[in-house]
Structure formats: structure tokens, C-alpha cells
Amino acid sequence: MGKNMVLIIVTLAMAFSLCGFVVNVHAKGGGHGLSGWHYHPAPLTVPPPVPPWFPHGFPQLWSTDDVITILNEQGLDVKEIEKDTDVTYALQSARAKEVMGISIPLEGAETEGYIFSFELKDDLEKMAGYYREMNNRGDLHTWSFVSGNILLILPGALSEEEARQYESALRRIN
């Protein structure tokens, strides 16, 4: 058998092996030849894990109802006043998936706060920045806490101790 034939046989053997075939090539009677082939499926391999990619920037999207449930489970009395969905704030160029007005008891009276739920991290950061800026300028006095995709705005009339209780409960969603 000539060198060209050996080259062809070796090339075919390599091609078949890529497809899962096992090819036995060996010398017969001093020459070279193809003695046989068997199909053995290639072992299955699991691709390496792909790191999670969240198009919205959050591993989980929490709703305003989820937050109410968590706050109430932690012994904080919070009631829904009103709820809106897909609210766009032109001044902040931000869009909230949900906004819920909440009622919070304060020394025998009711005071109001807000729970915002966002789909995009950028929108959350814009709105949280807006409230921070308003507080820093003295135009507004509120407590604002961020956890996951949630922004919680509480009235400044709450004591720091009371506000931190809400913050601690809110941290449970992350």
C-alpha cells in the first residue's frame, strides 16, 4: 500500500473518531490496512456553568405586595393605601414598575410612605438619588432605604429607631 493510501486511511480514521467512531488501523501482512471500525458515542460533557446574567440588573424582582407581606410578618403595621403600575417620573427620567402608597401608624395617627418596585437598576438609582438630593437640600425630610429592586420611602416623622426597624425588615428580601 502506498504512502498516499496510508495518508487517506489515517485521515479517514481521524474524521471518524471526531464523530464518535473508533477505527482500528494496523498492519496486515507487512502492509497497512483498515481492519474495522466500531461506533462508540462520545462521552457526554456538561458545559461549564454560565454566570447568571440579569437583563434588569436584579437577581429577583420583588413586588410592592411582597414588601407589605414581609413588613407585616416582621410585626410592622403597614397598610396599602393606593397602588399604581408602570409609573414614569419625567423629572427623574425613571420608570417604576409599581408604586404603592402606604399607611404607617405613628403616635396614634396615620402617616404615609411609599414603596417603589423597579425593573431596571438605573431607574432605581435615579429615584433613590432624587430623594437623597431632596433630603440633602432640606426640601424634604424622609427616610429612604434600598434593598434589591425596592425603594422604601418613610416619613421623616418616624424616629430613627422606628425607621431602622423598617430597614431591617426590608433587608430580608435580598
- Which residue range is the domain that position 150 belongs to? 64-173
**Strands of 150-155's sheet, edge to edge?**
79-89, 94-106, 109-117, 150-155, 142-147
Q: Quick one: 80 and 135 in the same domain? A: yes
State CA 68 to chain mean position distance: 21
Average the pLDDT over 68-95 and give the result. 87
Q: Quick check: is 57 in a domain?
A: no
Q: Quick check: is 55 in a domain?
A: no
Q: What is the pTM of this model?
A: 0.66
What is the distance between the alpha carbons of residues 21 and 73, in angstroms, rounded to a whole number? 62
Band the pLDDT of 13: cuts 50, 70, 90: low
Helix (H, G, I), strand (E, B) or coil at 71: helix
Q: Quick one: 109 and 73 in the same domain? A: yes
**pLDDT value of position 51:** 47
Q: Quick check: is 50 in a domain?
A: no
Cβ neighbours around 157 below 10 Å, total:
15
Q: Quick check: is 112 in a domain?
A: yes
Number of domains comprising the chain: 2
Q: Quick one: 162 and 81 in the same domain? A: yes
Band the pLDDT of 174: cuts 50, 70, 90: low
Q: Are 52 and 35 in contact (CB under 8 A)?
A: no
**pLDDT value of position 50:** 45
Beta bridge pairs of residue 142: 155
Q: Quick one: 159 and 81 in the same domain? A: yes
Q: Quick one: 35 and 68 in the same domain? A: no
Q: Quick check: is 46 in a domain?
A: no
